[in-house]
Amino acid sequence: MLGEIRGLNEECGVFGIWGHPDSAHISYYGLHALQHRGQEGAGIVVTDGDALRAVKGEGLVNDVFNEEKLKSAKGNAAIAHVRYTTAGGGGIENVQPLLFRSSTGSMAIAHNGNLVNANHLKQHLERSGNIFNSTSDTEVVVHLIKKSKKPGLRAQVKEALSLLKGAFSILLITKDCMMIARDRNGLRPISIGKLGDAWVVASETCAFDLIGAEYVRDVEPGELLVITNNGMEEDRFAEKEKRAMCAMEYVYFARPDSNVDEINIHMARKRMGKRLAQECKGIEADVVTGVPDSSISAAIGFAEEAGIPYELGLIKHKYTGRTFIQPTQELRERGVKMKLSPVVQVVKGKRVVMVDDSIVRGTTSRRIVTMLKEAGATEVHVVISSPPMKNPCFYGIDISSSEELIASSKKVEEIRDAIGADSLTFLSDEGLVDSISRPFDDENGGLCMACFTGNYPTEIYPDTVLPHEKELVK
């Protein structure tokens, strides 16, 4: 990711392991593989079969953990989390996994996604006397579990999960078991695998590859898996509803080497690029380049289909860290150049096709187009491997208002003029769905396309929506 200049960030990533004597170190490597899903906080909660211990902090995985901390977290099971702040805001109290202790036993929880009825549930719980320690919507889940009168933890968890609306992949751990749940629409990815005799679970399969685990399957929408020392039991907390995996996982968020619902991300993005080339025939150009890293696969596909050479025309600087908003326009532009640079010898005197995955506010696209032209590109044709983003997301992407989206108020030609491109082409809705090629019969291949189409797969609660957005979700 390019941090501040990209404009999109995902909620977080989760990892878990049960049945391995070095669970803390394995979780550390799992979080490394998922670092792209969240860079503002990381945590691991380990159990030794007797007690739960948390190690967490703000910052990158390498900033939070060291060998001393990992050695102190002894246990044969753990859940872990990397966080990007959207719902609930920042602060150490919101860094997950959240650990809770009570007279009936301790539990920890980690969550990827966003609950659209979190405020509604929280208000109900507060009226009943519950007090919250964080502003994270994840804490609501634990209060619902503890409030349940059902006999046994599994029944209590199932009742709590059945009350949740929105997007969630949840890991819960006690000294006796680990539970995995995925929302009934399957909005967020989560998979299970095996590392020897140990069970592992992760938001993306790239984490399995790093630790040497074998992929077993994806968790089904509405499913609850319970893992103990006796193995894994399959259960459900709700029936599967309209399947709606977030399309932006394929377009932008997931790593190219991951498989999401058994679809490889790199290959899906290459197909998006090929389809783009088919949909925008007539562009005459000398070179194709992609905005690193998430657009490289689509750029390769575009170049192959169009018969135009692909080159590394833009280079991402890997060690600059996050750049905070600067007080002047000149310093903002310099912040972009710290993270991205043109290869002058590639673009000078050339007609360039610049492939990117999305346009959010338009500011980043404008800066990159300007950068390419300053480097000597004679023309810059921008092609986007997703449709125009016109609608806010309520499921864990940090675009909660259409005011943040240039396509919500401008037509394609107006956006082209705003970013300074010689031409601008977006992938069609149909092109995106066909490119991802999911094997499901649900609408749009079981994809959530709400940020493009405005068709939300779940009910959106009024207190989730900014006042001026209510017309969008009636």
Active site residue 448: no
Residues 6+ apart with CB under 8 A from 376: 344, 347, 348, 349, 350
* Packed helices 138-147 and 153-162: angle between N→C axes, nearest 10 degrees: 130
Contact 294, 357 (CB under 8 A): yes
Give the Cα separation of 96 and 64 in Å (integer). Answer: 12
394, HSE (Cβ side, Cα atoms, 13 Å): 25
82, HSE (Cβ side, Cα atoms, 13 Å): 29
Give the Cα separation of 310 and 288 in Å (integer). Answer: 5
Is the backbone peptide bond immediately before 293 cis, with ω within 30 degrees of 0? yes
Contact 271, 301 (CB under 8 A): yes
Give the Cα separation of 292 and 320 in Å (integer). Answer: 15
Three-state secondary structure call for residue 449: coil
332, HSE (Cβ side, Cα atoms, 13 Å): 12
Return the structure tokens found at 5.
């200049």
Closest CA relative to residue 239, chosen from 220, 263, 252 = 220
- State the catalytic residues: 12
